[in-house]
Amino acid sequence: MTFHESGEIPRENLHVIGFSLGCHIASMAGKSLPENVRIPRITALDPAYPEFPIQDRTKRLANTDADYIDVIHTDSGIFGFPVSIGHSDFYPNGGRALQPGCQPSYLASQQIVEQVVACSHVRAWKLYVESVINPSAFPVTRCQKWGGEHKQCNFTVDGYMGFASNPNMNGKYYLRTGFKYPYGLTVAEQQI
């Protein structure tokens, strides 16, 4: 008897969260279930890119592995997966390195230079943790011409990244974050 058959954990309460390689492990959990059983939600925090094929969805996280998959991209193309692979894909600060506060000079000044290599990658789980504490910390927009600091649209709140993300959201979302905790910025700060 499995957990969903025993009723010990109602299926609708299941939310699998993975970081880096853990995103693909969550994917394999979804792929391994019987066809009539699906994971309601997988949250992928900067899914690992090295050694995971872009084209072969059977060997990596894919939006068919759960009813709803939200992905936070913070190091796209380096340690993080370079393309959208969820139902909702979030790109803080454009989704690429260097995330604010990850500049080597800043890390050295804070005496945490050992974080230089993976700072942008690990930022994904730090943002998610903040979203659990404050679900409205990360308002997002569906701006179609986002260019990091050179965005070409007015910021409108189209939802929230992280814990408050929901299955009614679909597509690519963008936002800016601060360089240290708390990372969330207000809507007014998003306009700058």
- Check whether 149 has a pLDDT greater than 50: yes
How would residue 87 be classed by pLDDT, with cut points 50, 70 and 90?
very high
pLDDT score at 79: 94
Give me the catalytic one of 73, 76, 121, 131: 121
Lowest model confidence (mean pLDDT) among 27-41, 60-74, 95-109, 115-129: 95-109
What would the pLDDT profile of 155-192 be if each residue is shown by its tens digit? 889 999 999 999 999 999 999 999 999 999 999 898 76
pLDDT score at 3: 54
- Reply yes or no: is the peptide bond before residue 98 cis, omega within 30 of 0: yes
Provide the residue type at 129 as one letter. Answer: V
pLDDT score at 10: 83
- Check whether 123 has a pLDDT greater than 70: yes
Percent residues over pLDDT 90 in the chain? 70
Q: How far is the C-alpha of 27 from the C-alpha of 72, rounded, in Å?
A: 15
pLDDT score at 28: 96
* Other Cβ atoms within 10 Å of 31 Cβ, number: 16
- Check whether 110 has a pLDDT greater than 50: yes
- Residue 161 in contact with residue 72, Cβ under 8 Å? yes
CA angle, 153 then 150 then 129, to 5°: 85
Check if 56 is active-site: no
- Residue 178 in contact with residue 96, Cβ under 8 Å? no
Token pair for 143: 């701006």
Check if 105 is active-site: no
Give me the catalytic one of 24, 27, 46, 120: 46
- Residue 187 in contact with residue 157, Cβ under 8 Å? yes
pLDDT score at 105: 73
Which helix (H) or strand (E) is 22 found in, with range?
helix 21-32
pLDDT score at 1: 33
Check if 70 is active-site: no
State the pTM of this model.
Answer: 0.91
Q: How far is the C-alpha of 26 from the C-alpha of 149, rounded, in Å?
A: 32
Q: How far is the C-alpha of 129 from the C-alpha of 142, rounded, in Å?
A: 22
Complete domains list, the chain, with CATH = 3-191 (3.40.50.1820)
